[in-house]
Amino acid sequence: MARSTIVELARAAGVSPTTVSHAFSGRRYVDPETKARIVALADKMGYRANPRARRLRTGGAGIIALASSMPFAIAAGPARLGFLMEIAAAAAVTALSRHLALCLVPPLEPDSNLDALEVDGAIIVEPTSDDRLLEFFSARGVPVVSIGRAPGRDDIPSVDIQSTATARLMLEHLGANNRRVGLITGEQRRNSYIETEAVYAAFAAENGYTPVALRVNESGGEGEAAAIAETLLRGNPDIDALCVPVDAFATGVLTAARSLNRSVPLGLRLATRYDGMRAKLSVPQMTAVNLHLDQVAEAAIDLLIAVMEGKDPERRPIAPPLLVVRESSAT
């Protein structure tokens, strides 16, 4: 059935399309009685403004993109999927309540053609330095915000995922009882790694030992992490706690511990960052951090909306990260 247009509604209400438009938008005063008549009639006729026509005029798409340069689907396995998708799910809910649709953007393949993709703004999750999707959107003049600061791009507004606080939280917990803590992060340059490494360096200094930190190539995934962890543990027998922010890597560390016959948590304490299924289901269950990703997602969307509207982004506080202590680091 063809939907009725503003012209038909106007005719039915005995006014001009202009008046109908104003009645709904409130951009100009319309006699309350007239307005009521229009609204009632619109309801009866099932009139809904054609979003496409509106967009041509107003220049908005009503869509925002959520993107991560981390290989999206199979590429790096579902390793990172959980984190991203938890954000995606929360963001979709929030976006909708702000009358925006959330569109998932896969990582940019060299040949992919995003020309038809018309969005009002984009959220990039944990961008790396020189993030390709970030470049892509900002080159097009699309407003962009990030979840986790974009390294080297202080001009990009971002929602803090509190990596510094999170790192401290993990480190102090792991280091209790004079445990000596090592660190395993990833090779890509993401802000969360950078901050964590910095906090770790300071932490080791405070406690008077040499930092022991290694990086895993992300595409190697769990297996690579296991190998690196083995190296680290063999080479540094005094390390008896490991901070491993990436949950997939932490699972790898568990494997390494097993093959080295180091019991967790007795011989090795372990904590990871993202409290997803991996942390909850691994054996032993892993201590992790509640990052309040739902709040983060919501804040990111509202930040993006503010940027799109050219408003001053009002920084909304996110609940501080919360350590969820589990078996892997129980005293």
- Interacting residue ranges for DNA, rule: CB under 7 A: 2-3, 5-7, 14-19, 21-22, 24-25, 27-31, 34, 47, 49-50, 53-54, 56-58
Nearer of residues 303 and 305 to DNA, judged by Cβ: 305
Partner touching 96 among a copy of itself, DNA, none, CB below 5 to 8 Å by kind: a copy of itself
Partner touching 102 among DNA, a copy of itself, none, CB below 5 to 8 Å by kind: a copy of itself
Nearer of residues 24 and 209 to a copy of itself, judged by Cβ: 24
Nearer of residues 32 and 141 to a copy of itself, judged by Cβ: 141
Nearer of residues 224 and 240 to a copy of itself, judged by Cβ: 224
Closest distance to a copy of itself from the beta carbon of 166 (Å):
20
Partner touching 7 among a copy of itself, DNA, none, CB below 5 to 8 Å by kind: DNA
- Phi, psi dihedrals of residue 278, rounded to the nearest 5°: -55, -50
Nearer of residues 143 and 175 to a copy of itself, judged by Cβ: 143
Closest distance to a copy of itself from the beta carbon of 305 (Å):
14
Partner touching 153 among a copy of itself, DNA, none, CB below 5 to 8 Å by kind: none
Query: Residue by residue, what is the 3-state secondary structure of the chain?
Result: CCCCCHHHHHHHHCCCHHHHHHHHHCCCCCCHHHHHHHHHHHHHHCCCCCHHHHHHHHCCCCEEEEECCCCCCCCCHHHCHHHHHHHHHHHHHHHHHCCCEEEEECCCCCCCCCCCCCCCEEEEECCECCCHHHHHHHHCCCCEEEECCCCCCCCCCEECCCHHHHHHHHHHHHCHHHCCEEEEEECCCEHHHHHHHHHHHHHHHHCCCCCCEEEECHHHHHHHHHHHHHHHHHHCCCCCEEEECCHHHHHHHHHHHHHCCCCCCCCCEEEEEECCHHHHHCCCCCEEEECCHHHHHHHHHHHHHHHHCCCCCCCCCCCCCEEECCHHHCC
Closest distance to a copy of itself from the beta carbon of 122 (Å):
12
Residues that bind a copy of itself in the complex, under the rule CB under 8 A: 1, 48, 50-53, 55-56, 59, 61-63, 72-74, 78, 81-82, 85-86, 88-90, 92-93, 96-97, 99-106, 112-119, 141, 251, 276-278, 281-283, 294
* CB distance 123 to 87 below 8 Å: no
Nearer of residues 57 and 311 to DNA, judged by Cβ: 57
Closest distance to a copy of itself from the beta carbon of 195 (Å):
26
- Phi, psi dihedrals of residue 38, rounded to the nearest 5°: -60, -45
**Cβ-proximal residues to 221 (8 Å cutoff; 6+ apart), any chain:** 76, 77, 79, 248, 252
Partner touching 178 among DNA, a copy of itself, none, CB below 5 to 8 Å by kind: none
* CB distance 277 to 82 below 8 Å: yes
Partner touching 251 among a copy of itself, DNA, none, CB below 5 to 8 Å by kind: a copy of itself
For the chain, the residue count is 331
Nearer of residues 114 and 260 to DNA, judged by Cβ: 114
Amino acid, single-letter form, for residue 188: Q
Pairing of strands 158-159, 144-147: parallel
Partner touching 105 among a copy of itself, DNA, none, CB below 5 to 8 Å by kind: a copy of itself
Partner touching 74 among DNA, a copy of itself, none, CB below 5 to 8 Å by kind: a copy of itself
Closest distance to a copy of itself from the beta carbon of 66 (Å):
8
Closest distance to a copy of itself from the beta carbon of 184 (Å):
19
